[in-house]
């Protein structure tokens, strides 16, 4: 054994560089860690360190409630689905490492013992040969460049998915704020109708109102109660959706920040500004462009791989005549049948597909931005018209109420006007929410982040009355 000590040292040196297996059990403890929700303090540290091409760090403070901007950033660091998405970065890094590795040399050995024939004076023969394929050096540069571009594409795709999750959180935070306003509006209307119902019941008992007036008051009250319950259900649904996106358990109650400038968001922005540089802002387009570059390098590697494979080796042998020889060995692949033409055709067709897909998606992105801007213009005009119609109904209702007190109008007509005014207020809320939804859609489509601000103390929006 002493004569082989160098060989055992070599074996130990090779094995010492091997990876070690570490178990990662998918057990109840792992499930409970996810189900209990994230730690707010730890999230605050992650949020302060966030690095994203589009999202900017915000001052994260839940004491005054969760704002839509805070919800967007919180979703990026806490959403459980994004953890699996980010693991793709590690896979891409491993593929980049693999692309840079050269093939291992091959060691072959044989040992021969004379067993028949004229064996007198012969010795045992052996052969040692060390081979390595040198043509792997030709394609290494292209393979590494392709893997590097693919890694960049994966990083951009991950950032794009983070952007989408952030925008989804912002969307549902905004919808939750509008749902809160809708519930508040219907709750106030319910209180007014309940008060009216009590007054009508007293008037009927005194003979001042008829049973028809009482039936109308009760019908109006029952309808508003049903509308209120529907609005509360909508609010609960939005809260559950927001909790799921943020990675919190369903029973978590996150207070939503109230002093947000809902009515001034999204701000007016010119179409030219959104369309200019769109291909440099849309992360999915950038990722697709990097995928195209990676595929172009794969095609180049396929073309280079047409070169016949060449292997060189060192040889040492001893024959049965006790003659020891040392020399070189060369092996060359003869590309008579397979010259890599199928592989090249496949890579070339894939590159053409990515080329056309990028141009099609760029065209679609520009059209999408223009379509959203057009819809927003229509919604703004509808909001102006609804505001004017609401103001006219409010003036008419005041006049009708005075006529009702003087006995010159009927109660049914008054309730009808009240319902029309409430319907107009609800319609205005719906239009405002649609405008917010379109604002989020515009952020996603254009890659431009439009941060929201809280209301400045002492400044009142003249159009802020949603009643």
H-type helices in 247-264, by residue range? none
Q: Taking the model in full, what pTM does it have?
A: 0.82
Q: Do 169 and 66 meet the contact criterion of CB atoms below 8 Å apart? A: no
Query: Exposure of 401 by Cβ count < 10 A (0-12 exposed, 13-18 middle, 19+ buried)?
Result: middle
Residue 254 parent element (H or E): none
The tokens describing 9, both together, are 């040292």
Contacts of residue 271, Cβ cutoff 8 Å, sequence gap at least 6? 369, 370, 373
Q: Do 274 and 444 meet the contact criterion of CB atoms below 8 Å apart? A: no
- What is the rounded CA–CA span in Å between residue 319 and residue 125? 5
358 within some domain: yes
- What is the rounded CA–CA span in Å between residue 389 and residue 73? 38
Write phi, then psi, for 133 (nearest 5 degrees): -85, 115
Q: Domain residues for 62?
A: 31-259+270-335+347-446
DSSP code of residue 49: T
Query: Alpha carbon of 38 to those of 43, 76, 136, 163: distances in Å?
Result: 7, 12, 48, 20
Do β-strands 106-112 and 125-133 pair in parallel, antiparallel, or remain unpaired?
antiparallel
- What is the rounded CA–CA span in Å between residue 381 and residue 371? 16
Query: Helix or strand or coil: residue 310?
Result: strand
How much is the CA Rg of the chain, to the nearest whole Å?
37
Q: Do 229 and 174 meet the contact criterion of CB atoms below 8 Å apart? A: no
Report how far Cα 345 is from the mean position of its chain's Cα atoms.
34
264 within some domain: no
- What is the rounded CA–CA span in Å between residue 120 and residue 136? 47
196 within some domain: yes
381 within some domain: yes
- What is the rounded CA–CA span in Å between residue 210 and residue 242? 49
Task: Report the pLDDT value the prediction gives residue 455, as an integer from 0 to 100.
Answer: 44
Task: Report the pLDDT value the prediction gives residue 409, as an integer from 0 to 100.
Answer: 75
455 within some domain: no
Each of the 467 residues of the chain gets a pLDDT tens digit; together they read 444 455 555 555 555 556 777 787 877 776 677 667 666 666 766 777 778 888 877 777 778 888 898 889 888 888 888 888 888 888 888 888 888 888 888 889 999 898 887 778 888 999 999 998 888 888 889 989 999 999 999 999 999 999 999 999 999 999 999 999 999 999 999 998 888 888 888 888 888 778 887 888 888 889 899 999 999 999 999 999 999 999 888 888 888 887 777 877 888 888 888 888 899 999 999 999 999 999 999 999 888 888 888 888 899 888 888 889 899 888 888 888 878 888 889 999 999 999 999 999 999 999 999 999 999 999 999 999 999 999 999 999 888 888 877 777 777 777 788 888 999 999 999 999 999 999 999 999 999 888 776 443 222 232 333 33
Task: Report the pLDDT value the prediction gives residue 369, as an integer from 0 to 100.
Answer: 94
Residue 262 parent element (H or E): none
452 within some domain: no
- Orientation angle between helical segments 283-304 and 341-405, nearest 10 degrees: 170
The tokens describing 423, both together, are 């319907």
Task: Report the pLDDT value the prediction gives residue 445, as an integer from 0 to 100.
Answer: 93
Domain at 329, CATH number: 1.20.1600.10
Contacts of residue 282, Cβ cutoff 8 Å, sequence gap at least 6? 365, 446, 447
21 within some domain: no
Q: How many domains does the chain have?
A: 1
Start-to-end C-alpha separation, the chain: 95
Task: Report the pLDDT value the prediction gives residue 442, as an integer from 0 to 100.
Answer: 94
Residue 325 parent element (H or E): strand 324-332
Question: Reading across the β-sheet that carries 310-318, which strands appear in turn?
Answer: 106-112, 125-133, 310-318, 324-332
- What is the rounded CA–CA span in Å between residue 457 and residue 261? 12
Q: Do 186 and 440 meet the contact criterion of CB atoms below 8 Å apart? A: no
409 within some domain: yes
Q: Do 248 and 38 meet the contact criterion of CB atoms below 8 Å apart? A: yes
- What is the rounded CA–CA span in Å between residue 72 and residue 162? 9
Task: Report the pLDDT value the prediction gives residue 460, as an integer from 0 to 100.
Answer: 27
């Amino acid at each position: 054994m002493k004569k082989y000590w160098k060989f055992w040292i070599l074996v130990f040196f090779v094995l010492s560089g091997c990876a070690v297996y570490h178990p990662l059990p998918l057990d109840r403890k792992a499930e409970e860690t996810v189900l209990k929700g994230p730690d707010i303090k730890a999230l605050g540290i992650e949020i302060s360190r966030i690095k994203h091409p589009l999202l900017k760090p915000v001052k994260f403070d839940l004491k005054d409630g969760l704002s839509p901007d805070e919800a967007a950033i919180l979703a990026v660091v806490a959403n459980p689905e994004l953890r699996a998405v980010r693991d793709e970065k590690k896979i891409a890094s491993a593929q980049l490492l693999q692309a840079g590795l050269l093939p291992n040399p091959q060691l072959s050995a044989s040992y021969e013992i004379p067993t028949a024939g004229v064996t007198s004076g012969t010795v045992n023969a052996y052969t040692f040969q060390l081979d390595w394929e040198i043509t792997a050096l030709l394609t290494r540069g292209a393979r590494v460049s392709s893997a590097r571009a693919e890694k960049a594409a994966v990083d951009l795709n991950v950032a794009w998915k983070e952007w989408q999750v952030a925008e989804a959180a912002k969307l549902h935070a905004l919808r939750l704020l509008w749902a809160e306003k809708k519930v508040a509006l219907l709750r106030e209307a319910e209180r007014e109708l309940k008060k009216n119902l009590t007054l009508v019941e007293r008037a009927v008992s005194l003979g001042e109102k008829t049973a028809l007036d009482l039936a109308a008051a009760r019908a109006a009250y029952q309808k508003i109660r049903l509308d209120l319950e529907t609005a509360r259900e909508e609010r609960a649904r939005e809260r559950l959706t927001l909790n799921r996106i943020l990675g919190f358990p369903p029973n978590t109650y996150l207070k939503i920040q109230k002093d947000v400038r809902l009515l001034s968001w999204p701000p007016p922005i010119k179409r030219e500004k959104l369309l200019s540089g769109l291909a440099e802002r849309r992360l999915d387009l950038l990722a697709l462009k990097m995928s195209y570059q990676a595929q172009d390098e794969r095609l180049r590697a396929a073309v280079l791989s047409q070169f016949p494979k060449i292997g060189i080796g060192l040889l040492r042998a001893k024959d049965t005549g006790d003659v020891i020889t040392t020399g070189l060995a060369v092996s060359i692949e003869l590309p008579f049948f397979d010259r890599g033409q199928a592989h090249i055709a496949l890579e070339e067709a894939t590159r053409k597909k990515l080329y056309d897909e990028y141009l099609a998606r760029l065209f679609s992105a520009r059209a999408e931005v223009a379509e959203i801007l057009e819809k927003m213009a229509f919604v703004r005009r509808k909001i102006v018209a609804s505001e004017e119609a609401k103001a006219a109904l409010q003036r008419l209702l005041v006049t009708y109420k005075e006529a009702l007190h003087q006995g010159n109008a009927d109660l049914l007509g008054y309730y009808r006007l009240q319902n029309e005014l409430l319907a107009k207020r609800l319609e205005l809320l719906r239009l405002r929410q649609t405008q917010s939804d379109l604002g989020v859609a515009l952020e996603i489509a254009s890659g431009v982040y439009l941060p929201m601000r809280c209301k400045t103390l002492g400044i009142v929006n003249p159009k802020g009355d949603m009643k």
